[in-house]
Amino acid sequence: MKREGAPRLIDVAEAAGVSLASASRAMTGGSGISPEVAAHVRVIAKQLGYEPNMHARGLAGGLVPTIGLVVHEIGDPYFSDIASGVIRSATLENRSVQIAQADRTPDSELAQVKSLLRQRVGSIIIAGSGYADSDREQGMSEALLDFTLAGGRAAVIGRHHLPVDAVLPDNHGAGVSVGRHLAGLGHRRIGVVAGPLDLNTVADRIAGLREGTDGTGVELTVISRAFTREGGIEGARELLDRDVTAIVGLNDAMAIGILSELRQHGIRVPEEMSVVGFDDIAVAADVAPALTTARIPMFDMGQHAVSLILRPASDEARTIETTHELIVRGSSGPPRTAPIAI
């Protein structure tokens, strides 16, 4: 279908058969692309009538040292820990941080980024899972490319597809560790309460769980709900009819919701049901029983993102991959030997 309106850089890239990053380099004279390919891209751009975003370029002389941070929910401990890491590092560099909150949709995220751009922030950090379908992030890719071409710096946390520096948590490895832990305890029927299945974080953690339980005879039952405590409650309620012996919440907020729902039914944890989460938020050690979880270094990830935007610009996007640690506490144990009464 023919796209309405002025052609965009992504249209040039698609018509020329190159990546969005390569099209950007071709139009700006960046390195990392052959002269022949660059010339071809410029010819295609001229044929399509593409004009660079001169408004964004014009910001180059007026950017301020403020860091714009986009999160999905600042009240979520995952994002508040990341924000704390960003603010700590920014303060040490005498920079202020402006926080914008977006819904978990590409349009909402892009609107918040554009709002920060209008305020001439010098750097942008986007925290939160990207999407398994890279096409859903084309608008964001273009906005960030225009921003970096204007002299701005950008980094993302937990996103695979955007053409800027990235901090990548070990979600897959964390899933493997959780899967091996539960399989090693003897669980064979495991329920998973996941967030939206189109998110990279969800896909990576589920893939890790499948790898960690591969060859053990484990049956995973996956239910998708909101990435919240309430989503955990709803998912646990449904899984109680599935005869599972363990439930994994794909973040700790969900796992705490799962614990709450089990408590309402008088189901003992871990004697009658094991519960495991991801992230190791601050309250994970304080709930009863204390939550077994895969620790993701959220505070450190925020600091890493600041370190990336403070580095000199590079023609190639750089990544920092973080580690994980399985924290075994009181909420996981061997599977029950008798049915539970609900």
Position 329 scores a pLDDT of: 98
Question: Which residues does residue 61 pair with via DSSP β-bridges, in sequence order?
Answer: none
Query: Which of the two residues, 50 and 255, has the higher pLDDT score?
Result: 255
CB atoms within 10 A of CB 266: 10
Both 255 and 305 in a single domain?
no
- HEC string of the chain equals CCCCCCCCHHHHHHHHCCCHHHHHHHHHCCCCCCHHHHHHHHHHHHHHCCCCCHHHHHHHHHCEEEEEEEECCCCCHHHHHHHHHHHHHHHHCCCCEEEEECCCCHHHHHHHHHHHHHCCEEEEEEECCCECCHHHHHHHHHHHHHHHHCCCEEEEECCCCCCCEEEECCHHHHHHHHHHHHHHHCCCEEEEEECCCCEHHHHHHHHHHHHHHCCCCCEEEEEECCCCHHHHHHHHHHHCCCCCCEEEECCHHHHHHHHHHHHHCCCCCCCCCEEEEEECCHHHHCCCCCCEEEECCHHHHHHHHHHHHHCCCCCCCCEEECCCEEECCCCCCCCCCCCCCC
Amino acid at 60: A
Range of the domain at 319: 63-169+299-323
Both 226 and 165 in a single domain?
no
Both 195 and 287 in a single domain?
yes
> Is pLDDT of 331 > 80?
yes
At 53, the pLDDT band (50, 70, 90 cuts) reads low
> Is pLDDT of 83 > 50?
yes
Residue 333 inside a domain? The answer is no
Query: Which of the two residues, 62 and 25, has the higher pLDDT score?
Result: 25
Residue 265 inside a domain? The answer is yes
- CATH classification of the domain holding 231: 3.40.50.2300
Both 143 and 191 in a single domain?
no
Cα distance between residue 235 and residue 240, in whole Å:
9
Residue 331 inside a domain? The answer is no
HSE at residue 306, side-chain half, CA atoms within 13 A, is 26
Residue 334 inside a domain? The answer is no
Question: Which residues does residue 167 pair with via DSSP β-bridges, in sequence order?
Answer: 157, 320
Both 81 and 155 in a single domain?
yes
Question: Which residues does residue 71 pair with via DSSP β-bridges, in sequence order?
Answer: 101
Amino acid at 268: R
Range with the largest mean pLDDT of 74-83, 158-167, 173-182 = 173-182
Both 191 and 291 in a single domain?
yes
| Structure-token match 């769980």, residue found | 209
> Is pLDDT of 54 > 50?
no
* Residues 73, 76, 82, 84, CA torsion sign: positive
Average pLDDT over residues 235-264: 97
At 2, the pLDDT band (50, 70, 90 cuts) reads very low
**Tally of domains in the chain:** 3
Residue 342 inside a domain? The answer is no
Both 256 and 310 in a single domain?
no
Residue 156 inside a domain? The answer is yes
At 12, the pLDDT band (50, 70, 90 cuts) reads confident
Residue 189 inside a domain? The answer is yes
> Is pLDDT of 19 > 50?
yes
Both 188 and 251 in a single domain?
yes
Query: Which of the two residues, 29 and 334, has the higher pLDDT score?
Result: 334
Both 43 and 120 in a single domain?
no
Position 316 scores a pLDDT of: 79
Provide the pairing of β-strand 121-127 with 153-157: parallel
Amino acid at 263: R
Cα distance between residue 282 and residue 87, in whole Å:
18
Both 176 and 280 in a single domain?
yes
Q: Over the Cα atoms of the chain, what is R_g?
A: 23
| pTM of the shown model | 0.82
CB 281 within 8 A of CB 257: no
Average pLDDT over residues 248-277: 98
Tens digits of per-residue pLDDT, 185-242? Answer: 999 999 999 999 999 999 999 999 999 999 999 999 999 999 999 999 999 999 999 9
Average pLDDT, the chain: 89
Tens digits of per-residue pLDDT, 91-114? Answer: 998 899 999 999 888 889 999 999
Both 231 and 317 in a single domain?
no
Both 259 and 318 in a single domain?
no
Cα distance between residue 148 and residue 142, in whole Å:
10
Position 14 scores a pLDDT of: 84
